[in-house]
Amino acid sequence: MNFKTDLNFRKETLIKLLNNIIIHEDDIIKALYDDFKKPAFEAVLTETNYVISDLKDTIKNLNKWAKPKRVLPSLLNFPSTDYIYKDPYGKVLIIAPWNYPFQLALCPLVAAVAAGNQVVLKPSELTSNTSAIIAKIIAKTFHVNHVEVIQGGVDVSENLLSQRWDYIFFTGSVSVGKIVAKAAAEHLTPVTLELGGKNPCIIDETANLKLAAKRIVWGKFVNAGQTCIAPDYILIQKDMKNKFIDYLKEEIITAYGNEPEKSPDFARIVNAKNWNRLTEMIDNDKVIFGGQSNESSCYIAPTLINEYDIDSLVMKDEIFGPLLPILEYSSAADIYTVVSKYEKPLSLYLFTENKIFAEKIIQNYSFGGGCVNDTIIHFLNKRLPFGGVGHSGIGAYHGVSSFDVFSHKKAIVKKANWLDLPVRYAPYKDKLDTVKKLLKWI
Ligand code: NAD
């Protein structure tokens, strides 16, 4: 078993993983349903099929990504050929969250294996059915010394973090991200932190409101709003607000019917703790649509909130649930006041036909990534690096970026022996002028 240097071995195990995921796809979909009633359609689109497609892409490109990349040499080293080798870090720890419990555990794992690392994966304890099927698939696919799943909660995670790793890849909340960063600093271990934030969705007076409503309802309420890149709040030009709210209501009814609780297409909140956290944010005086909830099934309806107060409870932190506050703005200064109140978000969405306005927002605000005239779909393009900035994260992955995350870039100069210019060697007497002339050319 030489996963560090044997590309064929890496590829074979990834093919085995692909086959085992395909064999167990129904079990994974069932586990996701048992965990938080994730609709089968969403399970396939955002979890199983996403990972399958990621695996196929990785297997197809592995040789190309792993190959040492030749770069132009420096004239100072003449004659040489220069390369960047992609070197596995070694022992990698991956800690995953519960909200896309299969995809967010498996995609980093696939990349870490592809890059030649040894992996320990700690999936979320809150989605225990999915974690169990992940553990089963991994045990069937890999030797335990190559890839291992360790299930458990905070204590298990803390124990893993107290050990020394060569790389840590963490997806989860900002508060736990800080704990991970501190633990990693103890051993100077490099990290990727995929965190969260309060994602603005800005709509100006030129936007196609009906289409915006449809795309926002989808991006916000998929997974019952428990998506790190879901629009957190709407910031709309004030004259457009009432019309837009009507469209939002129409789109919610079209998607989930008049009783979303009975819809097979709407997931549940993951547990009672999060249900309590979210229901506390609902101020009934501000609810303009939805607002219903059911503690026994952890249900919260898609809810629209007419919000004027950026200091309200729902505007304090990342919502991470099916509550959508709608704020209005009159000027660019209003947009700045709201967006800059928070740490740099993971995503920002903009609905507008005004290209100058779009460019201004893209260039003036710092955020992980986003879309113009849509929501969350930047996640789907493997050619776009996915990650946050500031408090929403450190580092980015997807496609070749995932392979690069788990590879140290080793710089190698291969010097030829047929010529050995004497100028750099001591004694330096009378060589300074020559060196100065040489350096001017380069
Ligand atoms: P979380 O931070 O509570 O938990 C994530 C993981 O960390 C779990 O495996 C958990 O067991 C572990 N953990 C929890 N507390 C810990 C502690 N004190 N010490 C060590 N480990 C600990 O996050 P979550 O509730 O599972 O997920 C929701 C958060 O994740 C949201 O903030 C969301 O925005 C973010 N998220 C980000 C992305 C992204 O790609 N950027 C994707 C999904 C979720």
* Tokens standing for residue 78: 């003449």
8 Å CB contact between 211 and 250: no
Kindly state the DSSP code that residue 73 receives in the 8-state scheme.
Answer: P
Answer whether 99 contacts ligand 1 (Cβ < 6 A). yes
Q: Residue 197 CA: which ligand 1 atom is closest?
A: 34
Burial of 136 (0-12, 13-18, 19+ CB in 10 A): middle
Strand partners, 167: 92
Residue 173 Cβ inside 6 Å of ligand 1? The answer reads: yes
Question: Catalytic annotation on 298?
Answer: no
* Token pair 């995932």 in the structure block, residue: 402
**107 belongs to the catalytic site:** no
Q: Which CATH superfamily is domain 7-195+390-409 in?
A: Aldehyde Dehydrogenase; Chain A, domain 1 (3.40.605.10)
Residue 105, pLDDT score? 98
Q: What's the pLDDT at 4?
A: 81
Over the chain (442 residues), the average pLDDT of each successive run of 10 is 87 98 98 97 97 98 98 93 98 98 98 98 98 98 97 98 98 98 98 97 98 98 98 98 98 98 96 98 97 97 97 98 98 97 98 98 98 97 97 98 98 97 92 87 74
Is domain 200-382 classified as CATH 3.90.1150.10? no
Q: Is the CB of 286 under 6 A from ligand 1?
A: no
Cα(178) to ligand 1 centroid in Å equals 11
Instruction: Looking at the CA of residue 393, tell me the nearest atom of ligand 1.
Output: 41
Output the CA 69–ligand 1 centroid distance in Å. Answer: 35
Q: How far is CA 372 from CA 98, 362, 379, 429, in A?
A: 28, 9, 13, 62
163-209, pLDDT tens digit by residue?
999 999 999 999 999 999 999 999 999 999 999 999 999 999 999 99
Q: Is residue 271 lining ligand 1, measured as CB closer than 6 Å?
A: no
Listed by start position, the domains of the chain span 7-195+390-409, 200-382
Of 42, 47, 107, 194, which one is the catalytic site residue? 194
Q: What is the pTM of this model?
A: 0.96
Q: Note the pLDDT tens digit of each residue in 42-98.
A: 999 999 999 999 999 999 999 999 999 999 999 889 999 999 999 999 999 999 999
Q: Give the model's pLDDT for residue 211.
A: 98
